[in-house]
Amino acid sequence: MTIAEEAVLVAFCIENANRGFPLAPRRVKLHAERILIARLGHKFPIGGLGKEWTTRFLSRHAHELGHYWSRAIDSARGRAVNEVTREEYFRLLKEVREEYDIPDELVYGADESGLQTGIGQKEYVVGGKGKHVQHQDRSGNRENITALPTICADGTCLAPLVIFKGNAFQIKWLQENPLNARSVTPPSHFS
């Protein structure tokens, strides 16, 4: 790769990490190969970049890039709500909106809540003496229902979206629908 191509890749890695989507080494290598394919076309070696290419790339750019063990967002979610993270998020948001001239009416915020049916239901039951837990036979249904409320930066909002598995649309779903929520039937290959 040229110095300019590596600089672009370094900036891409940093930008993705800042946005919460750090690249795994294999993804860094994949992006490097795509850059080279765009420049070299059919002259790009069939085997691609070598096995240790990413290690050498990170060594060359150790003053700008580091490698870390990632943590799932769920474990970090509670710690993410802090002043530094919030300020960085809004700084990035402002930067992108200014760069692409995005008006308020095109900026939406959404949050999702997942609900599992058949999970977390407890019932007072009678069982053999001396047991700490009495298991109860249940359907074991772990179907997930997702509710997605969405608001716009201009103060308006969209009707909440509720996603759940269904085989057929039922007319009773339209009853008591003050927000005029719509039902969308997924294509048959999602069944």
Taking 50 as the threshold, does the pLDDT of residue 191 lie above it? no
Cβ partners under 8 Å of residue 29, min gap 6: 48, 49, 53, 54
Burial (CB count within 10 angstroms: exposed 0-12, middle 13-18, buried 19+), residue 161: middle
For 33, the token pair is 């190969």
C-alpha separations of 153 from 103, 109, 110, 158, 159 in Å: 9, 8, 11, 12, 15
> Against a cut of 0.75, is the pTM above it?
no
Token couple for 13: 């890695």
Taking only the tens place, the pLDDT of each residue in 37-61 is 888 888 887 778 888 898 899 989 8
149-178: per-residue pLDDT in tens?
Answer: 889 989 898 888 888 776 666 666 666 666
Which tokens hold the place of 125? 């039951």
